[in-house]
Chain A
Amino acid sequence: AQSVAQPEDQVNVAEGNPLTVKCTYSVSGNPYLFWYVQYPNRGLQFLLKYITGDNLVKGSYGFEAEFNKSQTSFHLKKPSALVSDSALYFCAVRDENTGFQKLVFGTGTRLLVSP
């Protein structure tokens, strides 16, 4: 069965420093990968996705992620963190072997950016 692991419950970073939020996945076929952000008591907002093509994908608000097939990872990165980036971040995956129909999320990583 497809799954996503986000090994860090929380990531702390100072404003202006680079940030990384980790994600690894497990699928039977090829993956489609996504990152979302959630602010308190709100639905999820889409940040970026990897479907095919260039392994480095760029998304909203200066975020980017790199697809690494050999390490089955899709880490989220940003060169310079902002206090306003503080939120809950989710990685998600679709599996080719389920027809890409099912969308499974990780447990989330809370990002705290300090001034």
Chain B
Amino acid sequence: SQTIHQWPATLVQPVGSPLSLECTVEGTSNPNLYWYRQAAGRGLQLLFYSIGIDQISSEVPQNLSASRPQDRQFILSSKKLLLSDSGFYLCAWSNWNTEAFFGQGTRLTVV
């Protein structure tokens, strides 16, 4: 069966520090991969999605970037965090015609 791992669960980082959140999927090949951010327990904002290695689509211009160095690995990064980057970050995978399966999320607090 397929599983998705996202870590860390919580993270507190100072303003101006770098960020790296990692997401890996097991049990499937060539998945679509997604990064979302959820602010204040409300709507999900699509940040990036990827349909293959090194194929990344950015949805919102901002202080973040994403990379997919391997088929089942999706990394969210920032060189310098801002206070506004705080939020709940969710990784998900799907096939093109199926529902998406979510990781447990990372609660990022920038201080």
Which residue numbers of A lie inside 8 Å of B, CB to CB? Answer: 32, 34, 40-46, 49, 51, 88, 90, 92, 99-108
A-B interface, 4 closest residue pairs, ranked by CB to CB distance from nearest = A107-B43, A43-B102, A105-B44, A46-B99
Interface SS, A side: loop
**Contact call B43/A46, Cβ cutoff below 8 A:** no
Q: Which of A32, A34, A51, A103 contacts B49 (CB 8 A)?
A: A103
A92 to B45, CA, bound (A): 11
Known: A41-B105, A88-B41, A101-B49. A32 touches B97 (CB 8 A): yes
**Contact call B43/A44, Cβ cutoff below 8 A:** no
> What's the tally of chain B residues with a CB closer than 8 Å to chain A?
26
Chain A residue, CB-CB nearest to B32:
A101
Which residue numbers of B lie inside 8 Å of A, CB to CB? Answer: 32, 34, 36, 41-44, 46, 49, 51, 57, 88, 90, 92, 94, 96-105, 107
**Contact call A103/B97, Cβ cutoff below 8 A:** no
Q: Which residues of A contact B96 (CB under 8 A)?
A: 99-101
- Interface hub of B36, B49, B99 (most chain A Cβ within 10 A): B99
